[in-house]
Every structure is written in structure tokens, then in C-alpha cells.
Amino acid sequence: MKIERLLGILFYIINRDNVSANNLAEHFNVSRRTILRDINTLTLAGIPIYSEVGSKGGYSINPDYKLNEKIIDNANSEYMLLALQSLKSVYGERKVNETYEKVKHIYSDKNNNHALNIDFSIVNENRSIISYISMLKEAIQHNKTVSFQYTNLNGDTRIVKCNVIHVLYKWYSWYAFGYDLEKSDFRMFKIVRMRNLEISEMYFDNDYDVAKLLDDYEEKRDKDNIYVTIEYSKEIETLINEYFQGDIINVSETSIVKKVAIKENDFIMFSIILGFGEKIKVLSPLSFQQKIKEHLKNTLIKNYENSDI
């Protein structure tokens, strides 16, 4: 927390002509004595902070000053820019854009040619999702319970009351993680499936270990995996390796047999298998094989019954 505050103070002073100790104390919600100690720490680290006395006195830094390797070296600054750039492409919140521009300016001399670039703009969320993310972030900051209408994969809809403690982005989607008051358990909710999100006036104690709870949740979900054996053409091996991790059981001249773990009701993985068409075949379990057959059969009957197939 202290390191975050020190960097915060540094950026705060850099972006202003002159800042008083009282102003810093109020902004960072600490005592004036703490600010004085932090300024001393930054000075000892080699940051040229100048102090002026008098009614208009305060702290300032030469406008031409840029953070150097004493704080963040070239590799670290490049990864910082990469992370902000990636978040900017998928999130698009004004504050993220502003932060990126400030940090980009500070490190512009070092990072004219980036070796890495990540662009998630193809999956850029719509504005309503961004609005919900901001609301959830506000609820987390103030430890307030939220309510929303939620529709799951099966099309079932219910009103959820939840103590959200974390918002995360994975598998090209935003999720809210928190304690579901009705289910009395921690659940993961896909934000795109939420409707009518509201922040209540009900507070909760947020003393959770988020990292541990997320690990426990994922471990619990992994127990729900089913192991599917697939046989696929060698011509799609690269694509299969991209989407499915597992153990190769057999390799022939034209095909490969592989055992993979997937969620039984994972719509994305199910769709990917269907998308490979005749180039892939589910060997086991029979229940999953039957699920594939039923899906294809129902699709043909409903949508192509009168077609010449």
C-alpha cells in the first residue's frame, strides 16, 4: 500500500505545478506527518522534489523530469504500457485512456518501438457493459450489495442479490465474482447477462481473501470437468492445440486421438467442436457423443427439413 501511495504522490506532483502537504494529505487520506515521511522517502530515492515555504509554498518537480531506472526500468515500463494499452483496447473507460496517455508521455523516449502489442479491440464491450463495470467497481469500493436480473446458459432468469468483491476479464468477457445471498455461496456472473443492475444501501464486511476465494472457486469448477476423447484430422492439429489442452493417446497417418477436459455445459467449447465439422469426431463419453448427435439432428429437422441435404 505504501509503494502505491508513493507512486501516487509522485505522479500527483509531476502533473501539478505546486502541491501543499495538506493537499496531499487530504487527497491520499493520510496524515500530514505521513506525507512528510513519504516525501523524504522519495527524496532519498533520488527524486528531485523541491520544497517552497510561505503561504503559496509546497512541493514541486521540474517539468522536464521523467521517471528513470531508479524507479522503473525499461523492461518494466514497457510491460506497464503494454498492460495499459491492452486494457484501453478492451475497456475504453476515460480514466484508463487518460492514465495511458500520461504514462506513455513519461516513457516516450524509451519505448518508441514496442516489441509486444496486444489488441483486444475486436471484442471491445458495448457501453452498457462498461457502465455496469463502473457501477460494480463503485459497489466494491463502498462495500455495497448489488441486485440484478440474471439469465444463465439454460435461459433461466432470476433476481440476484450479491456482495460483489471482484471484477475480472477472461475468455474475452467480463465477470463479476461475489457472494450470492440466495445461494449462500460464491458465484461467478457474466456481466453481459445482467440486466437492471442496481446498487443498494445495504453494506457488507469485505474482509475476504479474493485471491484464495478465486482459486477455491476454480478448483471446485475443475472438479466438474468431463474428459472427452476426440479424434481429429492432422490438418487441423494447430487449431486443436490452440483450443484444447490434453494428452495425445494415439497418432496415425491421417489423424490424432486426444483426451481433453472441458466443462459439460461449456457453450464455447461445444460450439468449437461443432465448427470443425467432419474433421473431428467425439469418441467418448457416449453421453457427450449423443449430445452432439442430438444437436445436429435437431438442427437439420428444424432448420433444413425441406432442404435437399
Give the pLDDT band of residue 121 (cuts 50, 70, 90): low
Mean predicted confidence (pLDDT) in 183-195: 94
238 and 213 inside one domain: no
67 in a structural domain? no
Does the pLDDT value for residue 225 go beyond 80?
yes
* Other beta carbons within 10 Å of 185: 10
190 and 233 inside one domain: no
Q: How many helices (H) and strands (E) does the chain have?
A: 10, 11
Task: Let me know the angle formed at the C-alpha of 20 by 17 and 24, rounded to the nearest 5 degrees.
Answer: 100
> What pLDDT, on a 0 to 100 scale, did the predictor assign at position 170?
78
- Domain at 158, CATH number: 2.30.30
- On whether the CB atoms of residues 202 and 144 are closer than 8 A, the answer is yes
- Domain at 232, CATH number: 3.30.70
197 in a structural domain? yes
Residue 264 buriedness (CB in 10 A; 0-12 / 13-18 / 19+) = middle
- On whether the CB atoms of residues 163 and 208 are closer than 8 A, the answer is no
10 and 81 inside one domain: no
Rounded Cα distance, 198 and 179, in Å = 16
Rounded Cα distance, 21 and 5, in Å = 14
pLDDT digits (tens, 9 = 90+) for 228-274: 999 999 999 999 998 888 899 999 999 999 999 888 778 888 999 99
pLDDT digits (tens, 9 = 90+) for 267-282: 888 999 999 999 999 9
215 and 276 inside one domain: no
308 in a structural domain? no
280 in a structural domain? yes
Does the pLDDT value for residue 113 go beyond 70?
no
Q: What is the mean pLDDT of the chain?
A: 82
88 in a structural domain? yes
Residue 148: which domain range? 127-222
Give the pLDDT band of residue 68 (cuts 50, 70, 90): low
Structural domains of the chain, count:
4
- Domain at 31, CATH number: 1.10.10.10
Mean predicted confidence (pLDDT) in 18-26: 88
Q: pTM, whole model, 2 decimals?
A: 0.56
69 in a structural domain? no
Give the pLDDT band of residue 111 (cuts 50, 70, 90): very low
23 in a structural domain? yes
Q: At what angle do helices 94-106 and 74-90 cross, to 10 degrees?
A: 160
Percentage of the chain beyond pLDDT 70 is 76
Describe the strand order of the beta sheet including 246-251 as a list of residue ranges.
246-251, 255-263, 225-233, 280-284
